[in-house]
């Protein structure tokens, strides 16, 4: 079984994240969207809220599930028997950063492969950081967000 982990903070889940997951579906038997807890980051939304969004968005897709994890991504992969890590790439700068992490993960476990998917051009400007900024300042972030997220923010 080809199990893939799509790790991230998903604070909040954006249309860019959804695009990557949907396009990865034909490649894997199961995609676990891993909501990572990073002690260095202060999230805007609770981990439970973020998992809830993912479960709501993919309620009709049995291949997608979500989980909260802490610590090394590679260790969580072993825990859930994932042999693949999925990462979305928007810009060349994303690739440089992501390749460094992929190389470190490969050094930790050669059996877990990182797979990169490039984002659709219409979503390249969609970053959770920008969306949080819009929300904090009372702006309308709905063009960047899935319906489930928009509805819960109302």
* Active site (catalytic) residues: 17, 41, 90, 128
- Cβ-Cβ contacts under 8 Å for 25 (sequence gap 6 or more): 31, 61, 63, 64
Q: Yes or no: say if 6 and 20 are a contact pair by the CB < 8 Å rule.
A: yes
First vs last Cα of the chain: how many Å apart? 39
Of residues 85, 11, 99, 100, the one with CA closest to residue 53: 11
Q: How many CA atoms lie within 13 A of 34 on its CB side?
A: 26
Element (H, E) at 67: strand 64-70
The CA–CA distances, whole Å, from 52 to 1, 13, 31, 48 equal 25, 10, 16, 6
């Amino acid at each position: 079984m080809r199990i893939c982990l799509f790790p991230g903070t998903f604070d909040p889940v954006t249309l860019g994240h959804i695009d990557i997951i949907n396009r990865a579906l034909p490649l894997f038997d199961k995609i676990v969207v891993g909501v990572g807890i990073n002690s260095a980051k202060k999230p805007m939304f609770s981990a439970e809220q973020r998992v809830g969004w993912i479960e709501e968005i993919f309620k009709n897709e049995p291949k997608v599930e979500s989980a909260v994890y802490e610590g090394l991504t590679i260790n969580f992969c072993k825990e859930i028997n994932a042999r693949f890590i999925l990462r979305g790439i928007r810009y060349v700068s994303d690739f440089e950063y992501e390749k460094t992490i992929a190389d470190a993960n490969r050094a930790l476990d050669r059996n877990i492969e990182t797979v990169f998917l490039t984002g659709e051009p219409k979503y390249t400007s969609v970053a959770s950081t920008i969306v949080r900024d819009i929300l904090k300042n009372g702006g309308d972030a709905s063009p960047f967000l899935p319906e489930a997220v928009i509805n819960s923010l109302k």
